[in-house]
Amino acid sequence: MAMSERGWSRYSPTNSSWMKEGQCRTVDPDIFFPTDGRGVERARQICAHCRVKEPCLEYALNYRIDQGIWGGASERERRRLLRQRRLSRPR
């Protein structure tokens, strides 16, 4: 389901008001800065059930945040997404 279909379009990529609804507010923030693949998976599992996963990811992409797990995506995944978007943009 697309972000706008869930009413999340009210969040622009620069708006951070979604943060107060994040699933991660109730857990140790260090979980979202894992040091190994197992830690990444643990954070991802929390993000998977988060209702603001999409705006969280868009925020991280917009601000080029290069540390931690945002919207269920690792640093490497976010770099890949940005590269894909750049390549698919009309010239």
Residues that bind ligand SF4 (CB under 6 A): 22-24, 32, 46-47, 50, 52-53, 56, 69-72
Task: Tell me which residue has its CB nearest to ligand SF4.
Answer: 22
Residue closer to ligand SF4 (CB basis): 24 or 61: 24
**CA distance readout (Å), 62 to 55, 58, 82:** 10, 6, 9
Q: What's the min distance (Å) between Cβ of 69 and ligand SF4? A: 6
Q: What's the min distance (Å) between Cβ of 49 and ligand SF4? A: 8
**Residue 29: CB partners within 8 Å, gap ≥ 6?**
none
Q: What's the min distance (Å) between Cβ of 28 and ligand SF4? A: 12
Q: What sign does the dihedral 21-22-27-29 (CA atoms) show?
A: negative
Residue closer to ligand SF4 (CB basis): 11 or 32: 32
Q: What's the min distance (Å) between Cβ of 30 and ligand SF4? A: 12
Using alpha carbons, select from 19, 18, 33 the residue that is nearest to residue 68: 33
For residues 32 and 24, the answer to whether their CB atoms sit within 8 Å is: yes
